[in-house]
Each structure stands twice: as structure tokens, then as C-alpha cells.
Amino acid sequence: MDGKKLKILAVDDDMINLKLLKSMLMKSPNVSAVVEAKNGADAIGILKSQDDIDIILLDIIMPVMGGIEMLKVIRADDSLRQLPVIVLTTDETKKGEALECGANGFLMKPIREKDVVSKIAQLTI
């Protein structure tokens, strides 16, 4: 980690989860910004318009475009495929599917601050 602060894209259809995640992440000295998206389609739009996202926190179960579907789009796109993706889920069975589709890690909900901060640190060193 070269002292660069991270810009994180948090994708979750639950606004309360998004706000909680954002407040946890913004306490970290390594995070400069948290961009929010409410589904995979919105998130892909953000990724296309902002090329400085460093890491994605991705909920699995969402309307419009779910997390697994979004992961497949990201991993098929040359300009996005290198982005680290941490999947957020309450469903153990989805974890394996997400990892098979290219997720770099996962966190079980409810997310705890120390877990999300340490997972991000592992992926960005």
C-alpha cells in the first residue's frame, strides 16, 4: 500500500446497510471516499464513468442486477476485471458461487467494522 487512500464502491439495495457500511468505511484512515449504488446496473454505470474505484463491496441479492450477475459483467470486461470485489451475503450457499465467478473475498452479514476494514487491507496491500 503506497499511502494512497482508497475509493470504494459499495453496492447494496438496502439503504440502511449502505449507510452503515459507508460510516464504517469512512472511519478508516485508508479510505478517501465511498460511492454508493443500489444495484448492479447502477454500479456498472458508476464504474464506467469513474475510473478511480479501487475496490467493490457487493451485495448478492438485489433487484435489477444482482451481485453474481454484476460479478460476471466485471470479470468479462478488460477495463474492470482487475478490480478487487468483496461479496457481502447472508447466504452461505451463495458464497461458493460468488468465489467461482471471481469474487476476491466475502463477508457474512451483518458486517462488522473490524472485519470489513481488515478484509480491505488484505486485498490492497
Phi, psi of 116 (to 5 degrees): -70, -40
- Domain total of the chain: 1
pLDDT digits (tens, 9 = 90+) for 6-49: 999 999 999 999 999 999 999 999 999 999 999 999 999 999 99
Does any domain span residue 73?
yes
More confidently predicted of 56 and 121: 56
- Residue 1: its pLDDT value, please? 43
Domain membership of residue 58 as a residue range = 6-124
Q: Which helix (H) or strand (E) holds 74?
A: helix 67-76
Does any domain span residue 1?
no
CATH number of the domain encompassing residue 102: 3.40.50.2300
